[in-house]
Amino acid sequence: MGKYDPAPTLAAGLLRIARDKAGLTQAALAAEAGVSQQAISAYETGRKEPTLPTLQRLLAAAGLEMRIRLESIDYHDATLEAFMQTLPPARRAELEEQSRSRVEVERLRRIRGH
């Protein structure tokens, strides 16, 4: 499993990001949080799912906190999809390719740290 592979669960992704930001190994995070390295591995691979309080404690051990808030639903994606369906197929394909290109450029920029 590579550093930039998609995480199997939200908790797994948050833990990986937290460890990466803190520069910690699984063993170091485990020691900080008072759990086993095997537990961290199980959470990061999605074999186990931590409770919310456990996840908060693990993130705190990496020097981070999770903030959750409720927001109104953003219908942007549904509206954009409906608009795209009104376009001729060639134009839709052109815009989708431009979008994929922008996403790839951003992904590479993040990986390279620019």
Spacing of C-alpha 36 from chain mean position:
23
- Are the CB atoms for 60 and 22 separated by under 8 Å? no
Q: Are 43 and 12 in contact (CB under 8 A)?
A: yes
pLDDT of the residue at 2? 56
Q: Which of 39, 46, 54, 58 is nearest to 9 (CA)?
A: 46
Q: How much is the pLDDT for 111?
A: 85
Show the beta-strand stretches assigned E in 40-93: none
| pLDDT digits (tens), the chain, 114 positions | 555 578 899 999 999 999 999 999 999 999 999 999 999 999 999 999 999 999 999 999 999 999 999 999 999 999 999 999 999 999 999 999 999 999 999 888 888 876
The CATH number of domain 10-61 is 1.10.260.40: yes
Q: What is the pLDDT of residue 110?
A: 85
Q: Do residues 84 and 41 make contact, with C-beta atoms less than 8 angstroms apart?
A: no
Tokens linked to 29 = 């995070």
Task: Spell out the domain ranges in the chain.
Answer: 10-61, 76-112
